[in-house]
Structure 1
Amino acid sequence: MNRRELLAVAGALGLSPAWATQAAQGDAMAARDAYLYALPLIEMATTRERILKIPGAAVNALRHTRTLSDHTARWVTTPNNDTLYSPAFLDLSRGPVTLTIPPMGQRYYSVAVMDMFTNNNVVLGTRTIGGDGGTFTLVGPGQASTGPTPVRIATPHAWMLVRILTDGGEDLAATHKAQDGFVLKGPPGGPLAAYAARDAKPADYFAAARALLASDPAPPTDLKILRRTSAFLGAGPFSEAAAADGVDEAKMITVFARGRQVFTGGWAYPRPNLGDYGQDYLYRAIVALQGLGALPVAEAMYLKAAGDDGAGTFTGDGPYRLSLPAQLPLDGFWSLSMYEATADGQFFFTDNPIKRYAIGDRTPGLKRNADGALDLWIGRTDPGGDKSANWLPAPKSGPFALYLRAYLPKAELLDGRFRMPAVVKA
């Protein structure tokens, strides 16, 4: 129902024109909230379709990436350059799937299994089960399982993302052997439909959202928002004009999502509910767009630098400096990643002359100060001299963002007693 039709209804019922305006606005607000609520489902389906188009990829099967991500990796936003990925999209609707994890010793790894709403239902890895490995049975909703160590997954379809730490180069062969030790067994997955992407027409977007909700139903705790957005995510009908207005507003919110970030001492720290969002639908949508597949904070903390604008974007040529103490409060490792920003709010590695996409405590050849502290240099051109060893190249032009990953953070980083030094102009 468009605005003219609403005014006609208002007149027939003896209501004021203001009523029609309020009703139209209400429809647009519902459309906005429906778009944001469904965005994680849409992004998961889009990523699944993209990955399954790769030759050799299949449902209920691990696909091992054998090289570290670089500027050509565009299959998921904000990839890391620390670990090799082994993704698998799961179809549990036909029965449980069994995962065997090999002994990993001291090598860091994690196996995150996310439901279609992007919540981490479980993370199996160094932090949680140690380095001895084991066999686990992934069980969908309403299923029974007699397999070893059952793990309940909230939706019939899910995304498994294995991360295995590697130093690259000569370490790749050993990392590949570790990857090959992960075994996934289960019934063949059913055919998966293609769904509209986030930039589709509103009618197509909401049709895809409804289909995805039918395939992977929402939890009962989402009933309130589903009732409020039922015109778009349920049976309808809805006003196309209101849908268009609401979707436009939702997209503006995602574009300006950085405005929701609070920067403390030069960094935005993740919320405690990262990776397990509850009813924080807006935060969930923003992460799905800007950091799909994010781990919970106990596993890894993702920090975004404030940038030149104080809201997460760098535009200058540099050099910038990040001075870090000799030790950070971690049980794992850390890295600082450089990303070029795209117009739709996503981040990918940028091409550069030394093929360095991130810099961290495992980067060979870093020059430390006498006390063990570390000065990192960030800029579009080589800073020269001894600084070159600690240079993280920025894009030749355009905006960029810096993310620091801190794996297995200790309590003082998690609770804010330790704050990361700011990135400053040198």
Structure 2
Amino acid sequence: MNRRELLAFASALGLAPSLASAQDADPAAAARDAWLYALPLIEMATTRARVLSAPGAAINVLRHDRELTDHTKRWVTTPNNDTLYSSAFVDLTQGAVILTIPATGTRYYSVAVMDMFTNNNVVLGLRTVGGQGGTFTLVGPGQAATGMNPTRIATSYAWVLIRTLVNDDADLPAAHAVQDGFSLKGPEAGAPPVFAARDAAPAAYFAAARQLLAADPAPPTDLRILRRTASFLGAGPFDAAAAAKGVETARMIPILAKGRQTFINGWSYPRANMGDYGQDYLYRAIVAVQGLGALPTAEALYMKAAGDDGTGLYKGDGLYRLTLPKDLPIDSFWSLSMYEATADGQFFFTDNPIKRYAIGDRTKGLKRNTDGTLDIWIGRTDPGGERSANWLPAPKAGPFSLTLRTYLPRAELLGGQFRFAPIKKA
């Protein structure tokens, strides 16, 4: 695809709800759309293989991370440093899986159950269940909805991702006790095969996509795009030349998307369909690369800062400042996370001398202004003096990005009546 064609497609990134276009009859365009459509399945399968490669890991077995994520953990892009993760991939082909949630009191938690297309089929947490816990029966396609609190999952394989809030290091034992109360009980199942990853050659990528779709079929609402892309996701015939051209373009889309976000007062706010995408296949593909496992907006809002030039990246060596009001319109917690940017469009925590990867409402020692507002100082070097208490370290070199998380946002934040102030150069 030439530059003109690429820019024309990129201009639709924030507009078109699906990948359908006037180029329906173009085999390369079909390959492009097929690659993007299948990308969430590929990313989920890659994550599943990574999770199951850990010692002691198995299907239908919940594993707990006992430490907060830091710069050494790179199993999923844009992680948080606020919650402990508990994770399992479940196989519902052999029968239902029983999920038990303990009583958590007022501690924030969420249990997101995502299908293989990365949609949050259900989020069980303080917002939906409360702090009393309960037992839930995860039921796969075509299975009878029996058992306690039957919960329908759209695909036979699914990802259970649990977040348990940690206040500080002293709170870790109590958070571990809550984690230990979560459990999964289901039939024994073998690990599924390992599939080609995002960077695979087109033929291998599409072969993996076809296998994944066979294991976890798409919903009927996707029939149109599956018919248009049958040469690559269906029975064929496979057009190798069109696949090469289309995939080359498709791989650029998540990268282009980073530079085409809409920023309001210095922040990019997620779409209302974050985490439950419907036919918005393009947005779904972009989030799969840039924020796999994202929660729906009712549960959490993730805002990305505009960066130096509206690309979402900061490259300067100077000091930046974010000022937050005394009170935020949220019912749980907030944090500002620092990430170093990788060449393939992913974001991970960066090593720093004070081991601070995020600043939030639970960060000890923060110094507020006399009016209750909070200045956060962002830079590669310690700003010194009283500013040191509120310093969020940036990487020693290279581009970085900032994500502001707000959990259980109130209506004024969800509806746009409240907006954050921009990050400014100090």
Q: TM-score, normalised by structure 1?
A: 0.94
Deviation of the 1:23 alpha carbon: 9.4
Cα distance in 1 for partners of 2:364, 2:48 equals 35
Contact 1:96–1:145 (CA under 8 A) maintained in structure 2: no
The whole-number CA distance in structure 1 between the counterparts of 2:168 and 2:248 is 43
2:250 alignment partner in structure 1: 250
Query: 1:294-313 to 2 correspondence within 5 Å?
Result: 294-313=294-313
1:216 aligns with 2:219: no
Which whole-Å CA distance do the structure 2 matches of 1:23 and 1:423 have between them?
Answer: 40
Query: 1:360-404, CA deviations, whole angstroms, 9 ceiling, x for partnerless residues?
Result: 111000000011100000000000000000000000000000000
Q: Which residue of 2 aligns with 1:137?
A: 137
| 1:64 equivalent in structure 2 | 64
- Offset of 1:276 from its aligned partner? 0.2
The 5 Å alignment of 1:202-281 reads: 202-281=202-281
Gap regions ≥5 residues in structure 2:
1-21
**Alpha-carbon displacement from aligned partner over 1:312-343 (angstroms, at most 9, x marks no partner):** 01100120000010111000110000000001
* Cα pair 1:60 1:91 within 8 Å, conserved: yes
CA offsets, 1:150-182, max 9 Å, x none? 000000000000000002311110111100001
Cα distance in 2 between the residues matched to 1:135 and 1:25: 49
Measured against aligned partners, the alpha-carbon deviations of 1:271-303 in whole angstroms (never above 9, x if no partner) come to 000000000000000000000000000000000
Tell me the distance in 2 between the aligned counterparts of 1:173 and 1:234: 50
Residue in 1 that maps onto 2:319: 319
8 Å CA contact 2:70–2:349 kept in 1: the answer is yes
- Displacement, 1:124? 0.3
**Matched residue SS, 1:46:** helix
Which structure 1 residue ranges, 5 or more long, are not aligned? 1-21
Q: Which amino acid aligns with 1:336?
A: L
Q: How many residues align?
A: 405
- 2:334 is matched with 334
Partner of residue 48, structure 1: 48
The 2-side partners of 1:168 and 1:234 are apart by 50
Q: 1:238 deviation in Å? A: 2.0
SS in 1 for 2:164: strand
Shift of 1:257: 1.2
> Secondary structure at the residue paired with 2:343?
coil
**Distance in 2 separating the partners of 1:161 and 1:400:** 26
Who is 1:187 aligned against? 187
Distance 1:341 1:298 in 2: 27
Counterpart CA distance in 2 for 1:348 and 1:73 is 8
**SS at structure 1 position matched to 2:259:** helix
1:131 counterpart letter in structure 2:
G
Higher Rg of the two aligned structures: 1
Answer yes or no: is the 8 Å Cα contact 2:322–2:377 preserved in 1: yes
Aligned residue for 2:64, secondary structure, equals: coil
CA–CA distance in structure 2, aligned partners of residues 291 and 106 of structure 1: 27
Partner residue of 2:347? 347
Residue 348 (structure 1) shift:
0.3
Q: CA deviation at 1:259?
A: 3.4
- Contact 2:59 2:188 survives alignment (8 Å): yes
Could you tell me how far apart the structure 2 residues matched to 1:225 and 1:407 are?
Answer: 34
In 2: Cα distance, 1:365 partner to 1:31 partner: 53
Amino acid at match of 1:390: N
In the TM superposition, residue 263 of structure 1 has moved relative to its aligned partner by: 0.4
Asked whether the equivalents of residues 42 and 196 of structure 2 are also in contact (C-alpha less than 8 Å), the reply is yes
Query: Which amino acid letter does the alignment assign opposite residue 33 of structure 1?
Result: D
SS of residue matched to 1:231: helix
Tell me, yes or no, if structure 1 residue 30 matches structure 2 residue 30.
yes
Q: Distance in 1 between matches of 2:309 and 2:153?
A: 41
Matched residues, percent identical?
A: 73
Give the SS at the match of 1:264.
coil
State how far apart, in whole Å, the 1-side matches of 2:187 and 2:266 are: 49
TM-score normalised by the chain length of structure 2: 0.94
Distance 1:310 1:213 in 2: 37
Cα offset, 1:145, TM superposition: 3.9
Q: CA deviation at 1:24?
A: 11
3-state secondary structure, aligned to 2:337 = strand
Query: Hey, what's the Cα distance between the residues in 2 that align with 1:259 and 1:311?
Result: 4
1:195-252 CA-to-partner distances (Å, cap 9, x unmatched) read 0000000000000000000000000000000000000000111221110110000011
Runs of 4+ in structure 1 deviating by more than 4 angstroms, as ranges, are 22-25
CA contact (8 A) 1:25 1:242 kept: no
1:122 maps to 2:86:
no
Amino acid of the structure 1 residue aligned with 2:396: K
Give the AA of the match of 1:291. G
Alignment partners' CA distance in 2, 1:143 and 1:42 = 25
Q: Following the alignment from structure 1 to structure 2, what is the Cα–Cα distance between the partners of residues 349 and 89?
A: 24
Paired with 1:218 and 1:326, the residues of 2 have a C-alpha distance of 46
The residue number in structure 2 matching 1:79 is: 79
C-alpha separation in 1, matches of 2:24 and 2:102: 57
Rounded to whole Å, the distance in 2 between the matches of 1:189 and 1:300 is: 33
* Residue 186 of structure 1: how far off its partner (Å): 0.7
Please say if residues 145 and 151 of structure 2, whose CA atoms lie closer than 8 Å, have aligned partners that are also in contact.
no
CA contact (8 A) 2:113 2:158 kept: yes
> Cα RMSD over matched residues?
1.2
Look up the equivalent residue of 1:265 and give its one-letter code.
N
1:147 Cα offset (Å): 1.0
1:158 aligned partner: 158
